[in-house]
Structure 1
Amino acid sequence: MGGAFLAAAVLARLGGRIGLPTIPLFILAGILLGPHTPGIVLVADPHDLEMLSALGLVLLLFYLGLEFHMDDLKAGGRKMVVAGGSYLVLNVGAGLGFGFALGWGTSEALVLAGVLGISSSAIVTKVLVDTGRLGNPETKPILGIIVVEDIFLALYLAALQPILSGADSLAAAVTDGGKAFAFLLLLALAARFGTRMVGKLFATRDDELLVISFLGAAVFMAGVSEWFGVADAIGAFMVGLMLGSTASGERIRKLVHPLRDAFGAIFFFAFGLSIDPGDLPVVLWPVLIAVAVTLAMNVVAGLAAARVYRFGPGPAANISTTLLARGEFALILATMAAGAGLDDRLSPFIAGYVLLLAVLGPLAAGQSHWLARVLPGRPGTTGETGNSGSTGSTGESGAAAELTPPGTAEAVLDRR
Structure 2
Amino acid sequence: MFQDGGVHALRLVAAGPEGTGVILVELGIVLLVLAFLGRVAAKLGVPSIPLYLAAGLLMGEGGFIPVDAGEDFLAVGAQIGVVLLLLLLGLEYSPQDLQHGLRTTWQAGIVDGLANGAPGFLLGIMMGWTVTASLLLAGVTYISSSGIIARLLDDFDRYANRETPVILSILVMEDIVMAVFLPIMAVLLVGASLVQGAVAAGIAIAIVAAAFFISLKFSAHVSKVVHSHSRELLLLSVLGLAFLVAGLAEAAQVSAAVGAFLLGLTLSGQVADDVRTLMPPLRDVFGGIFFVFFGLTIDPRDLWPVLLPALLLAVVTAITKIGTGMWAARRVGIGPKGQWRTGISLIPRGEFSIVIAGLGITAGIQPQLGPLAAAYVLILAIGGSLLMRFAAHIGGPAQWREELASRR
Common fold: TM-score over 0.5: yes
Is 1:189 equivalent to 2:213 in the alignment?
yes
Identity percentage over the alignment? 38
Distance 2:124 2:323 in 1: 20
Distance 2:379 2:396 in 1: 24
The one-character-per-residue Cα deviations of 1:323-377 (angstroms, maximum 9, x if unpaired) are: 1010001111221111111221111111111111111011001111245432489
CA contact (8 A) 1:120 1:329 kept: yes
Question: What are the equivalent positions in structure 2 for 1:11-410 lying under 5 Å apart?
Answer: 11-38=37-64, 40-43=65-68, 46-167=71-192, 169-243=193-267, 245-375=268-398
The one-character-per-residue Cα deviations of 1:251-283 (angstroms, maximum 9, x if unpaired) are: 111111111111101110110101111111100
SS at match of 1:302: helix
1:74–1:35 Cα change, 3 Å:
closer
SS at match of 2:60: coil
Pairwise CA distance, 1:173:
1.1
Distance 2:400 2:218 in 1: 42
Partner of 1:389: none
Pairwise CA distance, 1:107:
1.6
The one-character-per-residue Cα deviations of 1:145-181 (angstroms, maximum 9, x if unpaired) are: 11101100100111111122222x2332122111111
1:27–1:67 Cα change, 3 Å:
same
CA contact (8 A) 1:280 1:352 kept: yes
Q: Quick one: which amino acid aligns to residue 19 of structure 1?
A: G
Q: Quick one: which amino acid aligns to residue 366 of structure 1?
A: R
Distance 1:41 1:32 in 2: 8
1:354–1:45 Cα change, 3 Å:
farther
SS at match of 2:273: helix
SS at match of 1:191: helix
Q: Quick one: which amino acid aligns to residue 8 of structure 1?
A: L
Pairwise CA distance, 1:86:
2.3
TM-score where L is the length of structure 2: 0.88
Partner of 1:396: none
Q: Quick one: which amino acid aligns to residue 328 of structure 1?
A: E
Q: Quick one: which amino acid aligns to residue 40 of structure 2?
A: L
Number of aligned residue pairs: give it: 376
Higher helix share: 2
CA contact (8 A) 1:313 1:372 kept: no
CA contact (8 A) 2:163 2:338 kept: yes
CA contact (8 A) 2:215 2:262 kept: yes
SS at match of 2:397: coil
SS at match of 1:83: helix
1:221–1:336 Cα change, 3 Å:
same
Q: Quick one: which amino acid aligns to residue 21 of structure 1?
A: P
| Structure 1 residue runs without a partner (length 5+) | 380-416
Mean Cα deviation higher: 89-98 or 42-51: 42-51
CA contact (8 A) 1:53 1:263 kept: yes
SS at match of 1:310: coil
Distance 1:254 1:308 in 2: 34
CA contact (8 A) 2:188 2:194 kept: no
The one-character-per-residue Cα deviations of 1:284-303 (angstroms, maximum 9, x if unpaired) are: 11011101111210121122
CA contact (8 A) 2:322 2:347 kept: no
1:75–1:339 Cα change, 3 Å:
closer
CA contact (8 A) 1:159 1:173 kept: yes
Partner of 2:10: none
Q: Quick one: which amino acid aligns to residue 175 of structure 1?
A: V
Q: Quick one: which amino acid aligns to residue 62 of structure 2?
A: H
1:43–1:16 Cα change, 3 Å:
farther
| Structure 2 residue runs without a partner (length 5+) | 1-26, 403-408
Q: Quick one: which amino acid aligns to residue 180 of structure 1?
A: A
1:157–1:375 Cα change, 3 Å:
farther
Q: Quick one: which amino acid aligns to residue 194 of structure 2?
A: L
Pairwise CA distance, 1:44:
5.2
The one-character-per-residue Cα deviations of 1:91-148 (angstroms, maximum 9, x if unpaired) are: 1233222322332221221011100000000001011011111110000100111110
Q: Quick one: which amino acid aligns to residue 384 of structure 2?
A: G
TM-score where L is the length of structure 1: 0.87
CA contact (8 A) 1:118 1:149 kept: yes
Mean Cα deviation higher: 257-266 or 43-52: 43-52
Distance 2:69 2:376 in 1: 23
Q: Quick one: which amino acid aligns to residue 191 of structure 2?
A: G
CA contact (8 A) 1:68 1:143 kept: no
CA contact (8 A) 2:46 2:389 kept: no
Q: Quick one: which amino acid aligns to residue 162 of structure 1?
A: V
Partner of 1:404: none
CA contact (8 A) 1:96 1:109 kept: yes
Mean Cα deviation higher: 42-51 or 220-229: 42-51
Q: Quick one: which amino acid aligns to residue 109 of structure 1?
A: S
Partner of 1:397: none
CA contact (8 A) 1:33 1:43 kept: no
Partner of 1:412: none
Pairwise CA distance, 1:77:
3.3
CA contact (8 A) 1:316 1:372 kept: no
CA contact (8 A) 1:35 1:44 kept: no
